[in-house]
Amino acid sequence: MEEMNAQQTASPGADIVRLVREDSAAARLTRLSVLKEQFPEMDVEGIIAESGVPDLKKMRGKRDTYFFSDQSMTEAYAAHLFRIEEKDLLKLIAETVRDESQTYPRPTDARVFLGAPFNVAEHDLADTLERLAASPEYNDIRTCTASNGALYLYSSKYLGEAYAESLAEWMEVGQKENP
Amino acid sequence: MDELTEKREGFLRKKQSRRDFLKATGISLTGAFVALTLGGATSVKTRDGKDIKVWKTPTGVIVHDPNRCVGCLRCEAMCTARNDGKVSAYLARLKVTRNMNYGVEGAGSAYQKVDGQMGNFRIVAETCRQCEKPACGNACPTGAIYADKVNGARVVNVKACIGCGSCTRACPWHLPTVDPEAEVSTKCSLCEGDPTCVKSCPTGALRYLPWAEAEKLLWGTDATSGASPDA
Amino acid sequence: MSTYGYTGRILRVDLSSGKIAIDDTLKYKDFIGGEGIAMKIMWDEVPAGTHPFDPQNKLIFGSGPLCGTGVPCSGRTNITSLLPSNPFYGVTSSHMGGYFSVAMKYAGWDMIVIEGKAPSPVWLRIEDDKVKIEDARWMWGKGIFDTQAMVASFMGKDAQVAAIGPAGENMVNLSVIRTGTSHSAGGHGGIMGSKNLKAIGVRGTGAVKIAVDSKEWLELNRFMMSIIGANNQHVVPSSPQPWAEYTDPTSRWTARKGLFWGAANPPVETGECDPHDMQSVGLRTMKATFDLGAGAEKYTVRMGGCAHCPIRCHSQLKVPQLERYGMDPYVSNTCMGWSSPRGVMFKGIKEFDGHGEDSSIVGTAIGTTLADDLGVWCNYGQIGRDLNYCYTNGVFKRVLPAEEYSSIRWDLLEKGDANFFFDFYNRVAYKKGEFSHIADGSYWIAQRWNLGDEYWNNKDMKLWSRLGYPVHHSNEAGGQVGALISCFSNRDAQNHSHMNFIGAKLPVKILKEIAGEIWGSPAALDAPNNYTPMNEYKARFVKWSLVRTMLHNSLTLCNWMWPMATSPLKERNYRGDTSLEAKFYSLATGINISERELDEAAARCFTLMRAITVRQMQSFDLRKDHDQTTEWVIHREKDKSGNELPQFTPGTIAMEKEDMELGRTLVYREFGWDEKTGAPTRACLEKYGMPDVAEELGRRGLLPT
């Protein structure tokens, strides 16, 4: 921080942009609340909006507003981090599953959430999956199991049951049998 | 122990920094006068009447990490593609193929336990050390090896080279190789300071390091490079 | 004639007479190199009716004009000969990675053609121009690892060696020729054995000349490196990465922070591997944990692979537990090399000898070491399923003498104890007893043990064809595209041109767009497990895949990476470049050729293979006699509740009989073959510049009328 203050030539706008880019390069989102603490006297959001820097992107959540630079982080990855930051596991899982069911399309291996960047604890995952099943808001999120017992999630908005099941079996068992 | 290994080990025992070398031979440069400058190598006449060549220190040198090397040989291929217009392991200025399967020692009855692709998977390559006192350059009968003015690499002047192989024989690692078709020595020139092999290494096993940093890795007792046969 | 790219010379060795001769490569240039030239030699020189183990059969080791030039993924060796496990001994190619073909090129040889039979065991020593047939009586009986070391100790440490083990010596149908740590060419080991040829060692001090200026050559290499993906040209990572827009947990781009080559000293982190970072391309594919599970991380010394390939797909492990079994703790393999022993232990590898949770890795490593040292092939995983079938359905009880049956350690198999491997591979490699016929191949055991329709039509057996080979990226890979690709070979299809594209792991929408650009319509590609009826664009995709694989085996490029239809680059909209083979060929050889012309040359080679098949089968009705599948392929599947899933509904990969016949017709049409029989016509053979082939087939009455 001392070093930063010493850079008299840099404008506050440039400092903010640099901070966001550094965070993104380190695979982190930059929270508006943190920027406000660091630049207490300034209209941080306004400065960023007016900076005209095309790589800086904003995502508004319930808990905070977040910035990232798409020079070193894709929107897809930022979306993962956003959902993680928002600390709504139900939403995190449901939206990720919907994305994958729609985009690829494919069912989502539940173990994906145990790994980086999600790092959901195993008991939290089990608990969340139970809550998901009971939640009307997410009643499109369904589960299926491959023949080796692996659990997959899919959104019925985009995938039918038989299709999701066959894809889960292909991902889990079929590909390993056909190396 | 074959001839090459013996020579290499002898050289390693004698390895020393330039200052040690000058001290040990009792040569002081004070009062010496410069007789001839050829590239970055300077021929110096000492007070006691000896002619010695003092070489410009190279700015950097290529270091190979046997722990990261995966034996893809892209370094050798791209080295020779750039410098010779043809692709060859034999002509490459760094040698990976040579020790790749069975290490420095070669295939023996204990091959499964020693260095090499067919052993413990450790690939010990040999890169040109751009030696302080380059045996290749000192042995060259036509003075065709000189220190590049910019980066100090010991470079072959192909016009002066007669392809006699003195450099190959003099080098403890037999790294300079005479191209039998072109009849010139192919010796690592550091590709004008941007080594092709380093750029072509897909795992970062080859690095182009400043001399001071490289020296430890190439010559130190805990050397991780192929420089040390028992590392 | 220039000899850029090519060395220009073919080495011919007659083991019967000991005669060594030199032939000119460039007279075969229309057949490209590798597999293509080998097919021409097989057509010209191996008469119909030759048995694979006859001295008249030829064994052809082939490199191509791009091998040894530094093109990424150009280290493969193509081996072509007759295949003993095939019912009519069909001409086939097997392939191995490693460094052998590059050494051939440096020694000055594009191809090595072995014929005849040595009076006693020999090995072939090639040191540049010096070629010598050496006594191998004292090597005979050794495993492949020791054999390689023996040859290298004679020739020098940088010699590259291809050798057979006891399985090849004993002319086991399912046996391999192997080079390096773990590069096996399946099916032709017995040919070397039949010729009394234990090994070939090659050392080369020469160079492969590049026709163009080195700057241009390096630039094309640099471009290729920028669009290359991970193993099988998977272009998205297996876990979310900051640089990645897409992710697929089944991708072979497995590198990530926190995943290490754990037994390296110090451990090497695979890391983020941004596709623009050229110094981490070789770290992208961490295959050990992909193939063997998370437990393999700590055993991983590093990843290995082939000459001039930046994608390292062979896991190289130190498994110290192997020393207990008198084995080298250092073990290397990839893909089927690991999964085939696991298939033999079809009841699973459970805890044994106190190896705890790593039992499966230790057991698999034992299996793979035995298979590789003895030189046993698995018929692309089929040997395990055949074992399963014959054991589970009482075939062994029926056909084995009671004493032999009871001497087999079924108890170990039942318990999941990997010590079963010692019993299994020993009986197979040394042809001990009736049981060892399991390695004759599926067609022959079905004959010998009278296995009947229920064997062939059993879906779980995965037998694709009554010619005795299994699925290999068949109907599960693009529906009719993979299904039809699997119909034209004389062994498992070994085709990855389609699979690398279908399995690139990009969203289907993007892949369909690219498919449209290459084959004329997005309809060439269906979403996985969601197939539509056959169309002409799929037929084009099929032809392209068959042709490109032939091309890669001729150039020689690795078809487990090539072609480069996709890339990991968002800024290229994930497009690759399908003209790269032709560009590299033109620059390396100085012979300018377009993408279309080079594909046509490969189509010529593929059509010639088809003609050899016609001559061997003595039938031109290949549709009926050759190209059919087993029944399960075209039978409706059932969902979990037991309801039939009609073809072309989401969730089934079943094909439909008439639709497949239409598919055959459309593919025949693409190649210009007879649409009724699938055989090359006179006009087609003449169009491909092979009037001599048309002439001979006509004389034998083997041209469709």
- Residue pair C51/C57 in contact by the 8 Å Cβ criterion: yes
Continuous segment of H or E residues that includes residue C268: strand C268-269
The answer to whether B98 faces chain C, any CB pair under 8 Å, is yes
Write the single-letter amino acid at C469.
Y
Q: Which of B203, B206, B208 to mutate to test the interface with C (most CBs of C within 10 A)?
A: B203
* Residues whose CB falls within 8 Å of the CB of residue A90, separated by 6 or more in sequence, listed in order: A128, A131, A132, A135, A137, A138
- This prediction's pTM: 0.94
Average pLDDT, chain C: 97
Q: Smallest Cβ distance to A73: which of C242, C257, C477?
A: C242
Q: Between chain A and chain C, how many beta carbons pairs sit less than 8 Å apart?
A: 87
CB contact under 8 A, C282 and B202: yes
* DSSP 8-state assignment for residue C203: E
Residue C332 has pLDDT above 80, yes or no: yes
Chains that touch B (3 or more CB pairs under 8 A): C
CB contact under 8 A, C473 and A162: no
CB contact under 8 A, A103 and C528: no
CB contact under 8 A, C207 and B80: yes
Q: Which residue positions in chain B have pLDDT lower than 50?
A: 1, 12-37, 224-231
Pair (A114, A173) in one structural domain: yes
Average pLDDT over residues C590-617: 98
Tokens of C166: 């006891």
Average pLDDT over residues C483-495: 97
Q: What share of chain A is helix, strand, coil (3-state, %, to 5)?
A: 55, 15, 30
Pairwise CA distance, residues C597 & C581, whole Å: 11
Residue C54 has pLDDT above 70, yes or no: yes
| DSSP-derived secondary structure for B9-35 | HHHHHT---HHHHHHHTT---TT-EEE
Identify the domain boundary among A62, A80, A98.
A80
| DSSP-derived secondary structure for chain B | --HHHHHHHHHHHT---HHHHHHHTT---TT-EEEEEEBTEEEEE-TTS-EEEEEPPPSEEEEE-TTT-----HHHHHHHHHHHSEE-SSS-SSBSHHHHTTTTT-S-TTTTTSSSTTTTS----B-----SS-HHHHH-TT--EEE-TTT--EEE-TTT-----HHHHHSTT--SEEETTTTEEE---GGGGS-HHHHH-TTS-EEEEEHHHHHHHHHSTT--STTSTT-
Chains that touch C (3 or more CB pairs under 8 A): A, B
Identify the domain boundary among A22, A49, A80.
A80
Q: Smallest Cβ distance to C152: which of B85, B107, B203?
A: B107
Q: What is the pLDDT of residues C69-91, one digit of tens each?
A: 999 999 999 999 999 999 999 99
Pairwise CA distance, residues C527 & C177, whole Å: 38
Burial of C450 (0-12, 13-18, 19+ CB in 10 A): exposed
C205: preceding bond cis by omega (within 30 degrees)? no
| Domain residue extents for chain B | 57-219
pLDDT at residue B211, as a whole number: 85
CB contact under 8 A, C476 and A27: no
- Residue pair B161/B178 in contact by the 8 Å Cβ criterion: no
At C183 the three-state DSSP class reads strand
Burial of C144 (0-12, 13-18, 19+ CB in 10 A): buried
Number of neighbours of residue C513 by Cβ within 10 angstroms: 16
Tokens of A117: 């960047």
Task: Kindly tell me whether chain A and chain B come into contact, counting contact as 3+ Cβ pairs under 8 Å.
Answer: no
* Residues whose CB falls within 8 Å of the CB of residue A49, separated by 6 or more in sequence, listed in order: none
- Residue pair B154/B163 in contact by the 8 Å Cβ criterion: no
Residue C15 has pLDDT above 90, yes or no: yes
CA torsion C447-C448-C453-C457 (nearest 10°) is -90
Pairwise CA distance, residues C379 & C465, whole Å: 13
Pairwise CA distance, residues C562 & C473, whole Å: 15
Provide the H-helix boundaries in A64-119: 75-85, 89-103
Number of neighbours of residue C392 by Cβ within 10 angstroms: 11
Continuous segment of H or E residues that includes residue C552: helix C536-555
Tokens of C226: 């920028």
Looking at domain C9-203, its CATH class is alpha beta
The answer to whether B196 faces chain C, any CB pair under 8 Å, is yes
| Domain residue extents for chain C | 9-203, 463-699
Pairwise CA distance, residues C560 & C76, whole Å: 10
Pair (A58, A95) in one structural domain: no
Distance from CA of C508 to the nearest CA of A (A): 6
Residues on chain C touching B106 (C-beta within 8 angstroms): 152-153, 156-157
CB contact under 8 A, A163 and C650: yes
Distance from CA of C531 to the nearest CA of A (A): 11
* Residues whose CB falls within 8 Å of the CB of residue A50, separated by 6 or more in sequence, listed in order: A13
Q: What is the pLDDT of residues C656-676, one digit of tens each?
A: 999 999 999 999 999 999 999
Instruction: Please give the biggest Cα pair distance in chain C.
Output: 70
Q: Smallest Cβ distance to C68: which of B87, B107, B180?
A: B87
Number of neighbours of residue B83 by Cβ within 10 angstroms: 19
Task: Kindly tell me whether chain B and chain C come into contact, counting contact as 3+ Cβ pairs under 8 Å.
Answer: yes
Distance from CA of B169 to the nearest CA of C (A): 17
Return residues 96-135 of A near C (CB < 8 Å).
103-106, 109, 111-112, 115-117
Pair (A29, A103) in one structural domain: no
Strands C469-470 and C330-333: unpaired
- Residue pair C217/C210 in contact by the 8 Å Cβ criterion: yes
Pair (A96, A142) in one structural domain: yes
Residues on chain C touching A171 (C-beta within 8 angstroms): 249-250
Percent of all residues in chain C with a pLDDT value above 90, rounded to a whole number? 99
Tokens of C327: 């084995």
Provide the H-helix boundaries in C48-195: 100-107, 144-155, 166-169, 189-194
**CA distances to C168, C240, C306 from C273, in Å:** 41, 12, 20
Give the strand order in the sheet containing B33-38. Answer: B33-38, B41-45, B51-55
Residues in chain A, overall count: 179
Number of neighbours of residue C433 by Cβ within 10 angstroms: 15
Q: What is the pLDDT of residues A128-161, one digit of tens each?
A: 999 999 999 999 999 999 999 999 999 999 999 9
Pairwise CA distance, residues A98 & C184, whole Å: 43
CB contact under 8 A, C206 and B117: no
Number of neighbours of residue C331 by Cβ within 10 angstroms: 27
CB contact under 8 A, B88 and C208: yes
Chain C interface with A: residues with Cβ < 8 Å = 239-250, 256-258, 291, 335-336, 339, 381, 462, 471-473, 476-477, 507-509, 527-530, 570, 639-640, 645, 649-653
Identify the domain boundary among A28, A59, A80.
A80
> Which of these ranges, A78-87, B26-35, C262-271, has the smallest mean pLDDT?
B26-35
Tokens of B187: 């010796």
| Minimum CA–CA partner of C106 in chain B | B88
Under CATH, which architecture does the B57-219 domain have? 2-Layer Sandwich (3.30)
Sign of the alpha-carbon dihedral angle for C309, C312, C314, C319: positive
The owner of tokens 């406000």 is A36
Closest by Cα among C176, C34, C153 to C101? C34
Return residues 30-89 of A near C (CB < 8 Å).
72-77, 80
Pair (A49, A96) in one structural domain: no
pLDDT at residue B56, as a whole number: 85
| Minimum CA–CA partner of C642 in chain A | A162
> What burial letters (b/e) apply to C105-121, b meaning 16+ CB within 10 Å?
bbbbbbbbbbbbbbeeb
pLDDT band at C705 (very low <50, low <70, confident <90, very high): confident
The domain containing residue A35 runs over which residues?
A: 2-80
Closest by Cα among B128, B138, B127 to B41? B138
Pairwise CA distance, residues A85 & A64, whole Å: 9
Q: What is the pLDDT of residues B171-191, one digit of tens each?
A: 999 999 999 999 999 999 999
Residues on chain C touching A72 (C-beta within 8 angstroms): 242-243
CB contact under 8 A, B120 and C318: yes
Strands C122-127 and C197-203: parallel
pLDDT at residue C168, as a whole number: 98
Strands C9-14 and C111-115: parallel
Pair (A101, A23) in one structural domain: no
Residues on chain B touching C301 (C-beta within 8 angstroms): 120-122
Q: Classify the phi-psi angles of C532: left when phi > 0, otherwise alpha if psi is within -120 to 50, otherwise beta.
A: beta
Pair (A47, A68) in one structural domain: yes
At C479 the three-state DSSP class reads coil
Average pLDDT over residues A89-118: 97
Q: Which of B62, B64, B72 to mutate to test the interface with C (most CBs of C within 10 A)?
A: B72
CATH number of the domain at C463-699, out of 3.40.50, 1.10.599, 1.10.8, 1.10.260?
1.10.599
Pair (A74, A104) in one structural domain: no
